[in-house]
Structure 1
Amino acid sequence: MILCSCNVISDRDVQTASKPCGAPVERPSEVFRCLGRAPKCGKCIRSIRSALDSSCGGEEPSRGQADLSACA
């Protein structure tokens, strides 16, 4: 599913965003950086954050951030 129409970022892109950077991705800004893109209108931030939060089985993120270290 497309989460960001400006940059054509899908939920699969969010799940695999840590591979280019070699570290777990915790924030939407890191997703953009790892994919070599930049937010434009910003409407997708909430959707990307939700995808990050559910990437590891929907566990509640600590301190408002998703901890994807268990996914690596």
Structure 2
Amino acid sequence: MIICSCNVLSDHDVRRVMTAAASQPHTASDLYGCLGCSAQCGRCARTIKRIMDEALSASSCCCRKTGLPPAPMIRAGDLCTGSSSWSASRHRGNRSARKPGSTGPNWGSPSG
């Protein structure tokens, strides 16, 4: 479901960042940074915060069940280096943007 119309972000995008990151972002601003965009109107902030809280709660339950210590904390900006240009182009409305180095039909050919 789309939760941010301004940046075309879905709940799946938020959950993906929360599960894929070595250390989870703790604010909506951190999360936006990982996705290569920033808040615009702010109407999605409560929903994003709710999804983030659910993910943080689920990860702390896992730590209690396994007996393992929580992962060490790092800055959110350290999580997403290297992919921001693809992510930013995707969230500017270019749904057909490919990750750097990917190929497709007529990609880079003289006729395409």
Is 1:34 matched up with 2:10?
Answer: no
User: Counterpart of 1:11 in structure 2: which amino acid?
Assistant: D
Superposed, which structure 2 residues align to 1:28-67 within 5 Å?
28-55=28-55, 56-57=57-58
Unaligned runs of 5+ in 1: 60-68
CA deviation after TM superposition for structure 1 residue 22, in Å: 4.0
User: Counterpart of 2:15 in structure 1: which amino acid?
Assistant: Q
CA deviation after TM superposition for structure 1 residue 3, in Å: 1.0
CA-based RMSD of the aligned residues comes to 2.2
Provide the TM-score with structure 1 as the length reference.
0.67
**Percent of residue pairs bearing the same amino acid type:** 37
Provide the TM-score with structure 2 as the length reference.
0.46
Moved over 2 A (4+): none
CA deviation after TM superposition for structure 1 residue 23, in Å: 2.5
Unaligned runs of 5+ in 2: 61-69, 72-112
- Find the aligned partners of 1:23 and 1:37 in 2 and give their Cα distance: 19
Helix, strand or coil at the partner of 2:14: helix
User: Counterpart of 1:31 in structure 2: which amino acid?
Assistant: L
- Find the aligned partners of 2:51 and 2:3 in 1 and give their Cα distance: 9
Aligned to 1:2: 2
Helix, strand or coil at the partner of 1:17: helix
